[in-house]
Amino acid sequence: MNRRHFLINTTAAITAGLLYRKVSFAAAPAAQRYKIAVCDWMILKRQKLGAFQLTKDIGADGLELDMGGLGTRETFDNKLTDPAIAKQFIEEARRLNLEISSIAMSGFYAQSFAERPGVDRMVQDCINTMQQLQVKVAFLPLGVQGDLVQHPELRPAIVKRLKAAAAQAEKAGVVIGIETALDAAGEVQLLKDIGSPAIQSYFNFANALEAGRDLQKELRILGKDRICQIHCTDKDGVWLQDNPRIHLPKVKQTLDEMGWRGWLVIERSRNAQDPRNVKWNFGANTAYLKSVFQQV
């Protein structure tokens, strides 16, 4: 082989090796710092096995499962207490390479956590479901009747009940994320009053935006160790990408600087023209969140 052919072949081999290394790296990216989920009740598939395929079609990484309706029942209308059904959910998530980000007690959007009898049982039922599905975070909204801005007199009862819930969660090794109407400083104080790492903030962008608060400032006040998960949408009306009062690249920069990582869960931000078009609305918001928060 003459010198010219040797150099050509050597260069080709090096180039091929570099290309192979580049392809191999692209095929096995590092774990994403931020993962995107949707809520099963908001995609109109509460506790339905088909929620997983719909989540996959939407393009999200995972699903927040709801405990089911509450109404006047003694506890949630929860199908997942059946081990056979829970096993189906676990297997379907695995089959589609999806995760269950969290378990939601959305019934408390309209119920009083401070005054409703039997709350300890409801919390324990949620924790049992979390253990069954191997999920570490629960979502507990204090809702309209537990709004501590409008009803500050409920604070002692809510703190007492959340301390009891914290003891239940600590024993199980899980976290309950609460959504409140308080500003970040008020929520920090509430968490200090509860005094347990098992109760954290499940931060909702819409609450801060509706109250006219600075979203980035609120996140920084809470800090990375108090926020377990985020509902990263605004009220319905327009998609995230068309919303003038939220700038997600700035939000990402803030969360990056804080050192936070975890699940961003899409709850609303549906286009008002067709709010029940699930794939259209949640697909658009998922795609936009991924373009901002995930490395391609």
Residue-wise pLDDT for 210-250, tens only, equals 999 999 999 999 999 999 999 999 999 999 999 999 999 99
Q: Contact at 8 Å (CB) between 138 and 102?
A: yes
Q: Around Cβ 3, how many Cβ atoms within 10 Å?
A: 7
130-to-137, 169, 179, 225 alpha-carbon distances in Å: 8, 10, 18, 21
DSSP assignment of 162-191 equals HHHHHHHHHHHT-EEEEE-SS-HHHHHHHH
The verdict on pTM exceeding 0.85 is: yes
- Amino acid in the structure at residue 254: T
The pLDDT, as a whole number, for residue 31 is 83
What are the tokens at 262?
Answer: 């975890």
State the pairing for strand pair 62-66/34-39: parallel
* Range list of β-strands (E), 30-180: 34-39, 62-66, 99-104, 137-141, 175-179
Q: Find the angle CA(240)-CA(28)-CA(133) to the nearest 5 degrees.
A: 65
Measured between alpha carbons, how far is 179 from 220 in angstroms, rounded to an integer?
A: 17
Residue-wise pLDDT for 112-163, tens only, equals 999 999 999 999 999 999 999 999 999 999 999 999 999 999 999 999 999 9
Measured between alpha carbons, how far is 52 from 276 in angstroms, rounded to an integer?
A: 18
